[in-house]
Amino acid sequence: MRVIAHVDMDAFYASVEMARHPELREVPMFVGGSTRGVVLSANYPARAYGISAGMPSSRARRLCPQVAVVHPDFDHYGAVSAGVSEIFDTLTDRVEMTSIDEAFIDLTTALRRLGGNPLRVAQELRAQVMDEQGIACSVGLGPSKFIAKLASKQAKPDGLVQVAPQDVIGFLHPLPVEAIWGVGEATAEKLHRLGLNCVRDLANTPRGTLQRALGDGQGALLFDLAWGRDDRSVLAREPAEHSVGSQETFGRDTDDEAIVATEILRMADRTAARMRAQQMVGKVVTLSVRFADFTTITRTGTLGAFTDRTNDIYCEAMRLFRKLNLQRARIRRVGVRVEKLVAKASTYQQPALDEPVHGWDEAEAAIDKAVLRFGPQAVQRARLTRRPYLASA
């Protein structure tokens, strides 16, 4: 039986801005134009005033004159989305990003490796997104993409809903017909004229009747969906070259090398953990640095042997950083990526002569196991337990 997860970032643009500016969490705010343009995303206090995405900004300000307005930073939103996507990739390669803030994940074949409990996997996923990116997400679990998406909508905000195969009909039939994919205002009006108001009404209407009223294709589709039948697969992307990385955007630009080095260590640690989860190793390390003026430079180095160890990746990333000789340039974001990965089982790692029998490999394996069971903050390096003024990306 398939297990599909639909992950939806709650009020994505607004959530990212609140992660950067915690003072905005409890006040009405939206991301968009202050006087012209439209609302791109509104937080829940603003929604209480009737403000919603797609609304003209001028109307939003009339509904709530004291609303805070944040101009969009699409570069940052893209970086956060990429960071969330990389978390998904640690679970399985069956990931379909349908937009900057939504994804389907087919967990079916990965559950044995992940412990077999989809609810626990989803809970840990939500905790990891919050820990790394500072934003909430809602997750729906179901036997199909259709049911998983409906479940994630039920889970909002910041929740988790699982619909087991035997519960699909009981979950689906009480919903209004507008809940079904493809039922917009025009289709809903046609269905209401036929006396069809909830999904149960659709399911109990003969397929032929729906086809005569709505057309062969749409009528047949709505009938199947009303009974929970949806065989569409998750459309996993095909990576041109396997790589894993992480990046961090600072809450304020900084020229403090100690802070930058700590975040490079955090990115190396996060990247290495993702590699180990995928049973991959690599030897090409890329460091990216974005400055306060939004210019970005990257530097790449090659290690002498394949590795998935945090220390190896961190040392190479720091070597690349020191070679930049930045002279206290103000930095906005750092990232660490390992490229040209290969399966760990296909390589041999030669231990150094002075290396202990049990060392970092065993320690990091134990850390990974603890994090998988108890969440991303279960075990951390002491240097990474404090985050002075950072907003993840």
Residue 232 · residue 145 · CB < 8 Å: yes
Structural domain spans, the chain: 13-74, 173-226, 243-392
Q: Where do the H-state alpha helices sit in the chain?
A: 12-20, 44-47, 57-63, 74-89, 111-114, 118-133, 145-155, 168-172, 185-193, 199-203, 207-214, 216-226, 257-277, 310-324, 360-374
Query: Is 246 in contact with 335 (CB distance < 8 Å)?
Result: yes
Weakest-pLDDT range from 191-195, 301-305, 335-339, 373-377? 373-377
Annotated catalytic sites, by residue? 102
Task: Please determine, for residue 172, whether its predicted confidence score (pLDDT) is greater than 50.
Answer: yes
Query: For the residues 113-127, what does the mean pLDDT come to?
Result: 89
Q: 0.75 exceeded by the pTM?
A: no
Residue 101 in marked binding region = yes
Average pLDDT over residues 95-118: 90
- Of the candidates 150, 358, 164, 380, the one whose C-alpha atom is nearest the C-alpha of residue 262 is 380
Return the axis-axis angle of helices 74-89 and 257-277, rounded to nearest 10°: 40
One-letter amino acid of 27: V
pLDDT at 286: 94
For residue 303, give the 3-state DSSP assignment.
Answer: strand
What token pair was written down for 379?
């075990």
d(CA 325, CA 322): 6
State what percent of residues in the chain have pLDDT above 70. 88
In this prediction, residue 55 carries a pLDDT of 93
**Does 173-226 match 243-392 in CATH topology?**
no
pLDDT band of residue 240 (cuts 50, 70, 90) is very low
Q: What is 13-74's CATH topology? A: MutS, DNA mismatch repair protein, domain I (3.40.1170)
Q: Which of 333, 340, 374, 327 is nearest to 131 (CA)?
A: 374
| Average pLDDT for 17-33 | 93
- Could you count the other beta carbons within 10 Å of the beta carbon of residue 333? 22
pLDDT digits (tens, 9 = 90+) for 73-90: 888 898 899 889 888 988
Nearest alpha carbon to residue 105 among 2, 229, 234: 234
Confidence of residue 99 (pLDDT cuts 50, 70, 90): very high
What confidence score (pLDDT) does residue 243 get?
Answer: 81
DSSP state of 23: G
Whether cis (ω within 30° of 0) applies to the bond prior to 157 is yes
Is the pLDDT at 375 greater than 80? The verdict is no
Domain 243-392, architecture per CATH: 2-Layer Sandwich (3.30)
Q: Are 148 and 4 in contact (CB under 8 A)?
A: yes
Sequence-distant (≥ 6) Cβ neighbours of residue 382 within 8 angstroms: none
pLDDT at 36 over 80: no
Tell me how far apart the alpha carbons of residues 363 and 379 are, in angstroms, rounded to a whole number.
11
CATH class of 173-226: mainly alpha
The yes-or-no verdict on residue 390 having pLDDT over 70 is no
8 A C-beta contact, residue 148 and residue 170: no
Lowest mean pLDDT among 94-108, 225-239, 362-376: 362-376
